[in-house]
Amino acid sequence: MGEVRGGASTAESPRPAGPRLVAIIGPPNSGKSTLFNHLTGLRQKVANFPGVTVEHRVGKAHVVGHHDVELVDLPGVYSMNPRSEDERVSHDVLRGRMEGLARPDAILLVLDSTNLNRHLSLAAPILSLGLPTLILLNMADDLRARGGKVNVELLAAQLGAPVALISAAKGQGLDAVRRFLTGGIGVPRPIELPVLLDVPACRQWARRMASDANYANPAPPVWTQRLDGLFLHPVGGPVVFTLVVLLVFQSIFAGARPLMDGIEYLVAATGSQLGSWLGEGWLRSLIVDGIWSGVGAVVIFLPQILLLFFFVAILEDSGYLARAAMIADRTMARVGLQGKSFIPLLSAYACAVPAIMATRTIESKRDRIATILIAPFMTCSARLPVYTLIIAAFIPEQPFFGPLFGSRAAALLGLYLLGFLAAFVTAKILKSSILESELTPFVLEMPPYRMPTFRSVGLRLLDRAMAFLKRAGTVILGVSIVLWILASIPQVNGKAPAIEQSLAGTLGRAIEPIIKPLGFNWKIGIGLVTSLAAREVIVGTLGTIYGMEGEASSAGLQKALHSDLTFGGAVALLVFFAFAMQCMSTLAVVRRETGGWKWPAIQFTYMSGLAYVCAFLTNQLLS
């Protein structure tokens, strides 16, 4: 072992122009995405879990008095021997083999300074690429606090490349990064590197580099051990988990209420104000009854969705998710999957689209497809408006499990469990038939617990709020307008027809025979058709239909629903939404990730069939 690997032949040649495209790379959980956020300000998911950055993201870093530098945030890698799809992406980008992305002309290598003995082994393959590289030892504040130290100058001299201690979460030490981005740093000086495929040799090399730089290991993180003592406790762990889940559900219902009432009031007030400005006529009908009732009915649910994302963000950023995966591993093994599948499934509670992309960390192809197929059963945030509306309309609020946990929260929790159950049964069926394979090993790094930063959680909430409002402003707005038109023709004596007589009503009544056994009438039918685009569209659609009938606002919507749904039909509708595949974005991402229409077609047919049969049975049982 021990061969001489150099970079390019010229060392230390200054690059006055500075790099244009810089790649950020490092082992999972070293804080790459946090650094990327800090430099670009661009919204980007950060989770305290190895391998969450499944797609490379590009952003622009603004450096004062200099042209913008493009940054690409790569998935975390342990080595340059790609074993998972994530690692392949990083590998391909750095070698200039990624389609649609030029080869980066400089590298920011981010390592966890509290774990240098291991993380430094990635420096060998990265330095051998011969690109200008700045090595960042992240979490310097943590290293200091736990009594560790390292001599940066010595390390830089040994590695032949500049080294800086930073804290990306606190924004400390980033001047060195900005200097690097403005140029003036040459390619690494050739040094003696180990044989890159020889893992033990690379590790020994890393240890030697660390100890020669007077690296002192920090003390083990006290808080991580204390928290694990609680969260992994045979009794305390499950108890804490249950309490957290109950708290989340109750706060989604009760905690979001004041804000939702506020938005509801605003929507109603602006609607009637607009109405009085516009005066009688078709324009007022379009804007107030069509758009305002439709879009407004959905926007009201923004606080609930943000609250849900807030909890998911805390769970991910704090490092609890990796423990949850570990606890879930045995259960997952029972259906033929492993703990790693649990993480995409948990994030599918927010949205199935990023969850399906996050399955790229699963090495086994069959496990990955099984996880993709069951992910849309997890209750995503788009179902929340539908669930909340129906539950609030049909289930009276009363204390259920002590005063802190009411019957409505219990009903909501029940629906979440229903989705979970469907996912598990489906996984079991898939893994014992078409996707049968040997149980894949479970190897997962447990990151230390970290306090989620305000910036990271805030950026994600902002991102989700914008995405939600954008959908309200595009898909739901579009559907509301089309629906208004369909509900306004054919004109009778120059006036809009009664909604049953309109084109929308005719279409709804045409499908009524199919959905009647489920307890749904033609109005719900119109909602089911529009919700094929996205689940929450049904709320906007019902808002528009009732708006045109003269009922508006969500309280009015709840009352109006009583004339169209029996209790059995309402529960059947909830069951239908729990199972049905009503999301174009999910189908599109499944097609992309599985490379064809086969799996999305199977998924759509299976989920819709299951939804229909179960809604039918529910309605028959309860009527």
CB of 40 to other proteins, least distance (A): 28
Stretch that binds other proteins, among 65-73, 192-200, 518-526, 602-610 (CB under 8 A): 192-200
CA distance 54 to 91: 13
CA distance 541 to 547: 9
What residues contact residue 343 under an 8 Å CB cut-off, 6+ apart? 49, 52, 321, 322, 324, 325, 358, 361
CB of 206 to other proteins, least distance (A): 9
Q: Which two tokens stand for residue 601?
A: 């077609």
Binding mask 79-108 for other proteins (x = CB under 8 A): x-x-x-------------------------
What residues contact residue 406 under an 8 Å CB cut-off, 6+ apart? 250, 253, 254, 397, 398, 399, 400
Q: Is residue 141 at the binding interface for other proteins, with CB under 8 A as the rule?
A: no
- Residue in 60, 203, 284, 509 binding other proteins, rule: CB under 8 A: 203
Stretch that binds other proteins, among 216-224, 370-378, 495-503, 552-560 (CB under 8 A): 216-224
What residues contact residue 252 under an 8 Å CB cut-off, 6+ apart? 304, 307, 308, 384, 409, 412
Angle between helices 477-488 and 522-530 (to 10 degrees): 140
Q: Is residue 442 at the binding interface for other proteins, with CB under 8 A as the rule?
A: yes
Number of residues that bind other proteins (CB under 8 A): 41
Stretch that binds other proteins, among 61-69, 194-202, 450-458, 533-541 (CB under 8 A): 194-202
- Residue in 234, 258, 396, 403 binding other proteins, rule: CB under 8 A: 234
CA distance 476 to 482: 10
CB of 198 to other proteins, least distance (A): 7
For residue 345, CA distances in Å to 315, 378, 379, 609 come to: 13, 7, 10, 22
Q: Which helix (H) or strand (E) holds 57?
A: strand 57-61
CA distance 535 to 352: 12
CB of 182 to other proteins, least distance (A): 34
Pairing verdict, β 57-61 and 69-73: antiparallel
Q: Is residue 428 at the binding interface for other proteins, with CB under 8 A as the rule?
A: no
Stretch that binds other proteins, among 264-272, 322-330, 465-473, 583-591 (CB under 8 A): 322-330
CB of 189 to other proteins, least distance (A): 26
Give residues 523-562 in contact with other proteins (rule: CB under 8 A).
none
Q: Is residue 443 at the binding interface for other proteins, with CB under 8 A as the rule?
A: yes
Q: Is residue 444 at the binding interface for other proteins, with CB under 8 A as the rule?
A: yes
User: What is the sign of the dihedral through the CA atoms of 337, 341, 347 and 350?
Assistant: negative
CA distance 25 to 76: 7
Q: Is residue 361 at the binding interface for other proteins, with CB under 8 A as the rule?
A: no
Nearer to other proteins (CB atom), residue 340 or residue 523: 340
Q: Is residue 445 at the binding interface for other proteins, with CB under 8 A as the rule?
A: yes
Q: Is residue 237 at the binding interface for other proteins, with CB under 8 A as the rule?
A: yes
Question: What are the φ/ψ torsions at residue 596 (nearest 5 degrees)?
Answer: 170, 175
Nearest to 138 by CA among 205, 46, 212, 59: 46
Q: Is residue 200 at the binding interface for other proteins, with CB under 8 A as the rule?
A: yes
CB of 243 to other proteins, least distance (A): 15
Stretch that binds other proteins, among 11-19, 215-223, 268-276, 585-593 (CB under 8 A): 215-223
Stretch that binds other proteins, among 51-59, 193-201, 265-273, 343-351 (CB under 8 A): 193-201
Is residue 368 within 8 A of residue 362, CB to CB? The reply is yes
Q: Which two tokens stand for residue 53?
A: 């950055």
Nearer to other proteins (CB atom), residue 95 or residue 330: 330
Is residue 356 within 8 A of residue 586, CB to CB? The reply is yes
Nearer to other proteins (CB atom), residue 31 or residue 339: 339
CA distance 568 to 582: 22
Residues that bind other proteins (CB under 8 A): 78-79, 81, 83, 114-115, 117-118, 121, 197-200, 203-204, 217-218, 220, 224, 228-229, 232-235, 237-238, 322, 326-327, 329-330, 333, 339, 439, 441-446
